[in-house]
Amino acid sequence: MVVEKSEWLYQNNETDTARYILGERSENMVACIGVNPSTARPNALDNTLRSVKRISKFNGFDGWVMYNVYPQRATDPNQLHRQINQNLQLENENNIAQSIRELGIDTIWVAFGDLIEAREYLPECLIRLYTQLKPLNLKWKIIGEPTQKGHPKHPLYKPTQSPFIDFDMGKYIIERLKPMTF
């Protein structure tokens, strides 16, 4: 189901248990990738998405779109499915890739922190998503230094003046995520 209200971008499943896309359309957009969506929707952003919006604006983007490694709605990543729902994940990957192409996005901000470790399947989901997006030659960014565990920092509680830093996503996949998938 796709709902576009003026500048809002929003795509969820029929039961609203999964969200694939939420953002505000503009000519100059950045995409942010988190772990999983919470309860946010158009005109009702949660604290994380308010942070995404303000940090994106500080970095020169007048629009943003939020994607997630896994699309299941949960206020706590520890409430995610114990086992991956492959159909849900495949739909998520395809929706993200199509959206990035259609919106002409060239900058991806990865921002999930150590939450990527909440479920064993999450690193593999991110690797699959990266593999699908790699041919698009995107610019990958993070804010601040990675966490102590080596993951891109989550935007919640980060200052508005958090500059984007270039991030070698391929290196991160090989050095940090691949060892977690075995």
Structure tokens given for 75: 């206020």
pLDDT at 177: 84
For residue 79, the model assigns a pLDDT of 95
67 pLDDT above the threshold of 60: yes
Residue 6: the pLDDT is 54
The mean of the pLDDT values for the chain is 94
* Residues 113-118, mean pLDDT to the nearest whole number: 96
Query: Which residues partner with 41 through β-bridges?
Result: 44
Q: Give residue 71's pLDDT band: very low, low, confident or very high (50, 70, 90).
A: very high
The reported pLDDT for the residue numbered 62 is 95
151: which strand partners?
none
pLDDT of residue 180: 73
What are the boundaries of each domain within the chain? 2-181
The set of residues, in sequence order, having a beta carbon less than 8 Å from that of 90 and lying 6+ positions away, is: none
Name, in order, each residue with C-beta under 8 angstroms of 158's C-beta and a sequence gap of 6 or more. Answer: 51, 55, 143, 144
**pLDDT > 90 fraction of the chain, expressed in percent and rounded:** 90
Cα dihedral value 137, 139, 141, 146, nearest 10:
40
- Residue 1's pLDDT band, with cuts at 50, 70 and 90, is very low
Virtual torsion, Cα 85, 91, 93, 96, nearest 10 deg: -140
pLDDT greater than 80 at residue 112: yes
Q: Is the CB of residue 55 less than 8 Å from the CB of residue 31?
A: no
pLDDT above 80 for 69 = yes
Using 50, 70 and 90 to split pLDDT, how confident is the model at 48? very high
Q: Report pLDDT for 95.
A: 97
Model confidence at 178, pLDDT cuts 50, 70, 90, reads confident
